[in-house]
Chains A and B, each alone.
Chain A
Amino acid sequence: MLELQNISFGVDTDAGKLEIIDDVSLTVADGSFTVITGPNGGGKSTLAKLIMGIEKPTSGKIIYNGEDITPLSVTERAKKGIGYAFQQPPRFKGLTVRRLLSLAAGATLPEDECCSYLTGVGLCSKDYLNREMDASLSGGEAKRIEIATLMARNLGLAIFDEPEAGIDLWSFSMLVKSFRAMSSGRHNSVLVISHQERIMDLADNMIVIADGRLKNQGTKEEVLPTLMGEFNQECDFRGKENADGKA
C-alpha cells in the first residue's frame, strides 16, 4: 500500500515561493487501479515524480508497504518495486530497444519475451527490437516503448504519466487492453495519470488533483460525474460560449 501523508512541494521563484503540491494526503490500496486526473499544470506529474523519488517533498511523508521511503533515492525505490513511465521518455543514442527492455527487467531477456512486451503496446516487434531508442523514433513510438519497459518489470507499484499522449487512435484500443490486463496481472498496483475516459473506465479508485491540492477521491462512479461540472466553471471560453447561447 502507498500512503502520502501531508505532502507538500514548493519551488522558489522570483515572485516568491510557489507551492506546486500543497498538503496532499492519499492512499493507494494494494491491487488497485488508480487514475489521477485534473487540469493541466495542476501538479499531477509532480506528484508522480515525488512518489518515484525524482523530486523530494518539502514536507510530508511517503509510506510504501509500511516503510517510510521519503529519504530513499530513485534507485532504492525502484529496487523496492516502484516503476515510473515518463510523460516524455528520454532518448538514448546507441541503446537498442531490446537492451532497454533487458535493463528494465534486470536480466537479458529472450527475444520472444521482448516481442510480447512490444506487441502489448501495439508495436510490430521485429521492426523495433534492434532499433536504437534515439531521436529517429517518433514521439508515439518512444512513448509505447517507454510503457513496454514497465511491462517488462515485476512491480509493486507501476506509475504511468499520461500513457495515452501521442498514441494514435488505432493503437489506443490495444493500449487500453494492455492496461486492463495489467490491472489484473503482474503489477500489484497501477497508478495512471490520464485524461482519457476509456482509461478512467478501468479505475477502481480515482483521484482529482487541481492547483496542487487533492480535490476529490473515490470510485469512478462517485468522481466521474463531478468532473465535468467542476472544471466547466474554471474554463473561461466555455462559460462565454454558454452565455452566448452557442453550443
Chain B
Amino acid sequence: MEKLDSLLLQEIAGMHDIPMGAYNIRKNGEGLSRRSTANIEIRPKTDKPGIDIIVAPGTVNESVHIPVIITQTGIDDLVYNDFYIGDGADVLIVAGCGIHNSGDSKSQHDGIHTFHIGKNAHVKYVEKHYGEGDGLGERILNPVTAVEQGENSVCEMEMVQIKGVDSTKRDTKASLAAGAKLIVTERLLTHGKQEALSNIEVRLNGADSSAQIISRTVAKDSSKQVFYYNAVGNDKCRAHVQCDSIIMDNATVSSIPGITANSAYAQIIHEAAIGRINNDQLVKLMTFGLTEEEAEEIIISGFLK
C-alpha cells in the first residue's frame, strides 16, 4: 500500500494495516482489494458500480471495513453499496471516504448506501469524511443513505466530517418497524468557504419504535451549514432530535426542524440551539493558564467528541 493511501485510510477508518474480517477498499473509482469471510460476503455488483454486503443471520462480533480513497484529481466516483444484515446479526461497519486532491479539478465521491436490517439485528455504522491536498480542485462528498430497519433491530450511525471537505450534501432516510431503534450522531466542522447540507428523515412506522438524532456542529470562517431534520411518527413511538451548533466568525447556520405525528401516541421532540462560544467558558479555561486560542480549541474538540 502506498504511503498516501495508508495515511488516508488511517484518517477515515483508523486502519493501520489490512483490517481483520471482511473488507473492501476502493481507490480512484475502482476496487483495490477485497475479502469475504465465512459469514460476511462482499460481492461486486454486475449492473452498476458498487458492492453487495451480505451478513449471514446470527453473525456476531464481526466487522466490515469499506473505505474509499481518492488520490487523483478530477475523479467523479459514484458507487452503490447495498447491505443485507441477517436477522439477529451484530456487526460493526466502518465506511468513510478520504480525498487527497492536489490538482485543480474537482474530486467527488457519491456513496449511495442502502441498509436492509433484519429482525433483532444490531448494526453500528461509522462513517468519516476527510479531505486534504493543496490544489485548487474541490473535494466534494454527497452521500445518500437509506435504512430499512426490521422489528426490534438497533441501528447506530455515527457520521463525522471534521476537515477538508469543500462541499457536502447528505441525504439520510430511515424507516423503522415495530420496536426498532435508531440512533444517529452527526458531527461536523466546516471552515473556509465550505458548505454542508444535511437532510435526515426518519419514519417511525411500527409501535414502540424510537429514534434519537444528535447533531453537534461547528461553523467557522465564512462556511455555511443547513440542516433539515424531520421525524415522522406513524404509530406509538418516541423520537428526539437535538441539534447544537457553535457559530464563529462570519459563518451561517440554519437548523430547520420538522416533526410530524400521525398518531396520538407519538411523542416527538425537537431541540435546536445555535450560539457562539460562551465567554465564561473561555475565561474559565484561561484561568488554568491556557491561551484564548487553546481554550477555544479544547471547547470545540470536546463539543465534537
Contact = CB atoms under 8 A, between A and B. Distances in A.
Interface of A: 52, 54, 73-75, 78-79, 83-84, 86, 88-95, 99, 103-104, 106, 149, 153
Given A93-B244, A93-B303, A94-B305, A75 B286 contact: yes
Interface string B271-305: 00000001011011111111110000011011111
A103 B288 contact: yes
B302 A94 contact: yes
Nearest to B285: A103
B284 A89 contact: yes
Given A78-B290, A106-B288, 6 more contacts: A75-B292, A78-B287, A89-B284, A93-B302, A95-B302, A103-B298
- Going nearest first, the 8 A-B pairs with the smallest beta carbon separation are A94-B302, A90-B280, A78-B289, A95-B302, A74-B286, A90-B281, A79-B289, A94-B305
A95 B299 CA distance: 8
Contacts of A91: 281
Given A75-B289, A83-B287, A153-B288, A94 B303 contact: yes
A92 B281 CA distance: 7
Given A75-B292, A86-B280, A92 B302 contact: yes
Central interface residue in B280, B287, B291, B305, by most chain A CB within 10 Å? B287
Given A90-B281, A93-B244, A52 B302 contact: no
A149 B286 CA distance: 13
Interface in B94-119: none
Interface residues of B, number: 22
A104 B281 contact: no
20 contacts: A52-B287, A54-B287, A73-B286, A74-B286, A74-B287, A75-B286, A78-B289, A83-B287, A86-B280, A89-B284, A90-B281, A90-B283, A90-B284, A92-B302, A94-B301, A94-B305, A95-B298, A95-B302, A103-B290, A104-B288
Contacts of B303: 92-94
A78 B286 CA distance: 7
Nearest to A150: B287
Contacts of A84: 287
B304 A94 contact: yes
Nearest to B289: A78
Contacts of A88: 280
Nearest to A85: B287
A183 B287 CA distance: 20
B290 A75 contact: yes
Nearest to B301: A94
Contacts of A106: 288-289
